[in-house]
Chains A and B, each alone.
Chain A
Amino acid sequence: MKLPPLDYICPATLPEAIAALAVHGGNAKVIAGGQSLMPMLAFRLAAPSVLVDIGRLPDLKSISISAEGIDIGALVTWRDIERDAQLAQAHPLLAAAIAHVAHYQVRNRGTVGGSMAHADPAAEMPGIAVTCDAMLTIVGSTGTRILSANEFLTGGLSTVLGADEILTSIRLPLWKKARRWAFEELARRRGDFALAGVAAFYDIDAQGLAHNAHIGVIGVADRPMRLPGVEAILDGRRIDADVILQAAAVARDAVDPADDIHAEAAYRRDLLGVLLERALARAANITLPEAA
């Protein structure tokens, strides 16, 4: 479990880092917190010839909240998010989701950018990005592009990132104060990747009806996704037990998880429904009749 032979460079500026990536083409790999990449190198599942460490790049470590949104630099760690009381106020769903990411040591090093770029189907950050219509800023040799999380993620462990591109920041739209929301997931041990997870929010109009429902799920497909069918059920409705059960039934049918060593597909599908029921009940602050 030692790394294959490789070179290491640690550029001081973003243009230098991009130039280094461009020079080496597909043989270079960005390293941020290293929490996903180092195991892949150690298992020799990845064998780049150069590591470009972006850890020293300026300006990628900040969290800023402005009228335009919440900007999170690519090098912000899980621990940074956990510690930022203002952020927890500004985006409670994000804070709740990130509380489930990994274990202490990993949380100290793992980054938002690394998680987006690694694109694990059960990772929380991409799940939140997809659920919340996040926009990602990507800088490469040919310039800067801004993409939605949905456009960014192309499948399990795959994204649109080009060989010479670096994800620099992610912007979450501002959070509305009175918003109803919840995050639910189940993992084998705290900090493990979720068997399934749900991020949910909606706003309430003057009549007490839901609108702008956003329901995102992780761990049940090759990438995180919204469930528009479920959102359609919620929008314009008063969220009560009936609506919630309908929504959960639609959610179960909307996903098509795969079997793996951790769970059979049917379990993940059903779990998703249960988690969605619980998330919506919590968001609506109601108690569902107890089943079985």
Chain B
Amino acid sequence: MSDVAKLLVGSAVERMEDARFLSGSGNFADDLAVEGMLHAAILRSPIAHARIVAIDASAALAMPGIHAVITARDISDTIPIIPLRLAPLPEFEPFRQPVIASDKVRYVGEPIAVVIADSRALAEDALERIGIEFEALSAVTERGASETPLFDFAEDNVALRYDAGFGDADAAFASADYVRTERFSVQRHTALPMETRGLLAEWNSSAGRLVVTGATKVTFYNRRALAQMLGLREDDIDLIEIDVGGGFGVRGEFYPEDFLIPFAARKVARPVKWIEDRREHLMAINHSRDIACELSLACRSDGMMLGLRGQVFADMGAYIRTNGGVVPAKAAQFLPGPYRIPHVSVSVEAFMTSKTPVGTYRGPGRFEANFFRERLIDMAATDLGIDIAEFRRKNLITEQELPYPIDGLVPYEGPTSYDTGDYVEVFERALKEIGWHEKRHLQGKLVDGVRHGIGLGCFVESGGAGPKENAALTLEKDGSLTVAVGSSVLGQGLETVLGQIASDTLSIPFDRIRVLHGSTTLLDEGFGTYHSRAVVMGGSAVLDAAIRLREKILQQASNHLGRPNSELKIINANVVADNGASVSFAALAAGCELQADGTFSNEVRTYSYGTHAAHVTVDPRTGAVKVLDYIAVEDVGRAINPAIVHGQAIGAIVQGLGGVFLDHLIYDDQGQLLNASLADYLVPTASDFPVLRAVTLELRPSPSNPLGAKGAGEGGIVAVAAATANAVAAALAPLNVEIHHLPLTPPRLWRLIKNAHARAITAA
């Protein structure tokens, strides 16, 4: 690194994007307006499962201000199919989603037609005039609830089944002193970024080029998919990333609209904008979680875990979208967690229903898996008469055992190992923070009408997916630096973090750095933001480019000053020679082009890890829960910007608590989504969970990348259900209530308490 007074990496630099956001000068999709722009609205299926007999758009087309009504028939004989970006298992291929429904609809919200009009309001008026004749078919809303196959080619509604694992679980269970089996589930919910999706597509017919603004997450992948569907060359399409108000996994995947809006723009030869409204967001964007699990744990009587057997059942909704089977596969993979369990056997069943398709949401599969396992651990510890903290301490993988292989849990992935860490130390830190020793006597106690409970949840969390990321750095003529990166920015502060890395390496003041990101115009190829990879991969690519650019700058300065490189130092955007002569970056850049490309390739994943602890009270008469204290402790290897990591952790905890108590996409048995508005789909607001704490540690850097960073965006959510549900269960243990299913609503807890009471009376 260069000679600078103070390195920015590792310090809580104020986010460079904040001034823009706080002053209202962000540039989001709905801020876009171009000459001649038209607006799209999408007719979505009002029924869950039906044959489309006829579509009559004539009345809509006749309305003033309506430019087009596009249905499957206008697209082509073969409707483009959305590809599998991740976990591309061949079993899923036939279940992929067409970009528009042609003969059948399979979920409420599936696109049937697109209206293009002078305004969004007119477009919505026209939606009401499109006549569709449906032949209703019976909806499938549960696993095995109906023998009616949703797809004609299939015998049933199971898309995929597989077994995975390591060791010999059957033998372990046969020889165990103690075995317990329980069924758990996490309800369907979604990420709910505050900004809904939005796109502006502009087709230039003379140049044969398409520009789509509002893309994010995996723009290069999406461009490839779109080019294929539209029969264009990739080079003829630019996907532009602007400000994005949250992604959390759901935003930026390739959705039907990512084809339909560009297609419409080309068809009407006018720019077309589409802003998803909240109602359609709730029925159209990926849903997630919705995993049920039967989990068995085998232990010795002293609490040593011997084996784990799990069956994971995933409601995938009506189609398999870009994320393939990631959600169930990760729910299975993370069942063992940070524990030494020598024998693991998991099976996965992904089944189709008449609901919105499922995709990844922050901590996909982990939120669920940690909840299942940590609940079962509390039950086992209690059965065996072992303190819940002691039980975990005994089974956590020790530092001496790392790297710890967890091969064979995911059929489409190669070998992988937990990398570095001190799981026990982080666990003890969480106990200390929550005041475990002082407060454990409160477990289940009734104080002033409410019962107290303290719960723990341990996790490991993978991040930093490969294969690579690219960056390009340019020293501008004015001496400022432009950083272009293939990673996407979705509001998480990546501009700042990348700026910090570049600033340290090149000794350029932070405020002279501009970060460009995501757009396909910036680089030949980029890989995007998911799996907590943007800092690990994009940050390392920026570091690589910065080191290369530094060499070029020094070389150029050496020519300029006539001194050898060895006598040169970079100080605050100047190159200074030992003899006192100096030249500014601006002067060097004026003389020649100073540009460097960087790349980082890596298939080794990072494993951050940590422990969450929650202290709650439950009002046993109403089922209302209060979170009195919450602590998340995580080792992220290296925190480039501790303030940003902290914000990520706190935000993730709130989002996770939403998943525990509030967020729930409720369907009836006809496949109708009953709460497609924020009046009924409840999310935590800023004031709902005021007492949350997070401690970020940098105990063991990642060996996989030069920054030593591990994923840091998801560890805050993955153990929230685990710790919180354990706390609620501990509070209600004296009432013989066990927690198996989320969300923990007051009516559900009340019902559990009543049922336990009734059982006790019957037994007596």
Is B221 positioned at the interface, with any CB of A under 8 Å from its CB?
Answer: no
A263 to chain B, nearest CB (A): 4
CA distance A43 to B622 in the complex (A): 33
Contact B747 A189 (CB under 8 A): no
Q: B685 and A44: CB pair below 8 A?
A: no
- Interchain CA distance A263-B623 in the complex, whole Å: 12
**Are B746 and A188 touching (Cβ within 8 A)?**
yes
Complex-state Cα separation, A192 to B757, whole angstroms: 30
Q: Which of A133-141, A206-214, A237-245, A266-274 contacts B (4 or more CB under 8 A)?
A: A266-274
* Residue in A43, A266, A270 whose beta carbon sits within 8 Å of that of B677 in the complex: A43
A44-B128, A274-B621, A290-B449 are contacts. A188–B677 as well, Cβ < 8 Å?
Answer: no
Q: Which residues of B contact A1 (CB under 8 A)?
A: 124, 277-279
Using a CB–CB cutoff of 8 Å, the interface residues on chain B facing chain A are 119-121, 124-125, 128, 277-279, 446, 449, 620-624, 662, 666, 674-675, 677, 679-680, 682, 684-685, 687-688, 735, 745-747, 750-751, 753-754, 757
Number of A-B contacts (CB under 8 A): 71
Query: Which of B278, B279, B449, B688 is the one whose CB lies under 8 Å from A189?
Result: B688
Please, which residue of chain A has its CB at the minimum distance from the CB of B675? A261
Q: Which residues of A sit under 8 angstroms from B675, Cβ to Cβ? A: 261
B674 to chain A, nearest CB (A): 5
Given A2-B121, A5-B125, A271-B622, do A292 and B753 touch, yes or no (CB 8 Å)?
yes
Q: Are B128 and A188 touching (Cβ within 8 A)?
A: no
Complexed CA–CA distance, A5 and B322 (Å): 38
Looking at the assembled complex, report how far the CB atom of A46 sits from the nearest CB atom of chain B, in whole angstroms: 14
- A39 an interface residue at 8 Å Cβ cutoff? yes
Q: Which residue of chain B lies nearest to A273 when distances are taken between CB atoms in the complex?
A: B621
Q: When the two chains form their complex, are residues A192 and B747 in contact, meaning their CB atoms are under 8 A apart?
A: no
Tell me the complex Cα distance, A5–B64, Å.
13
Residues of chain A from 14 to 47 with CB closer than 8 A to chain B in the complex: 39, 43-44
Contact B128 A263 (CB under 8 A): no
Q: A1-B277, A271-B622 are in contact. Are A261 and B680 (CB under 8 A)?
A: yes
- Which residue of B is nearest A190, CB measured? B687
A261 and B622 within 8 A (CB): no
Bound-complex Cα distance A263 to B746 (A):
8
A4 in complex: contacting residue of B125, B620, B745, CB < 8 Å: B125
CB distance A267 to B688 under 8 Å?
no
Determine if A59 is an interface residue (Cβ-Cβ < 8 Å).
Answer: no
A-B contact pairs, 25 of them (CB 8 A): A1-B279, A2-B119, A2-B124, A3-B121, A4-B125, A5-B125, A39-B679, A189-B684, A189-B688, A190-B687, A190-B688, A192-B682, A195-B746, A261-B674, A261-B675, A261-B680, A262-B680, A263-B745, A267-B747, A270-B750, A271-B746, A274-B621, A292-B621, A292-B735, A292-B753
How many interface residues does A have (CB within 8 Å)?
27
How far apart sit A189 and B124, CA to CA, in the bound complex (Å)? 32
Residues of A within 8 A of B679 (CB): 39
Nearest chain-B residue to A186 (Cβ)?
Answer: B622
Query: Complex Cα distance A98/B250, Å?
Result: 38
Which chain B residue shows the least CB distance to A259?
Answer: B747
CA distance A5 to B124 in the complex (A): 10
| Most-contacted residue by chain B among A103, A261, A264, A292 (CB, 10 A) | A292
Other than the given A261-B680, A270-B754, A292-B620, 16 more pairs (CB < 8 A) read: A1-B124, A1-B279, A2-B119, A2-B124, A4-B125, A5-B125, A43-B677, A44-B124, A186-B622, A186-B746, A189-B682, A195-B747, A263-B745, A267-B746, A271-B622, A290-B449
Query: B682–A188 contact, CB under 8 A?
Result: yes
Which residues of chain B come closer than 8 Å to A178, judged between CB atoms? none
- Distance (whole angstroms) from the CB of B748 to the closest CB of chain A: 9
Residues from 236 to 292 in A contacting B, C-beta threshold 8 Å: 261-264, 266-267, 270-271, 274, 290-292
Q: How far is the CA of A267 from the CA of B446 in the complex (A)?
A: 21
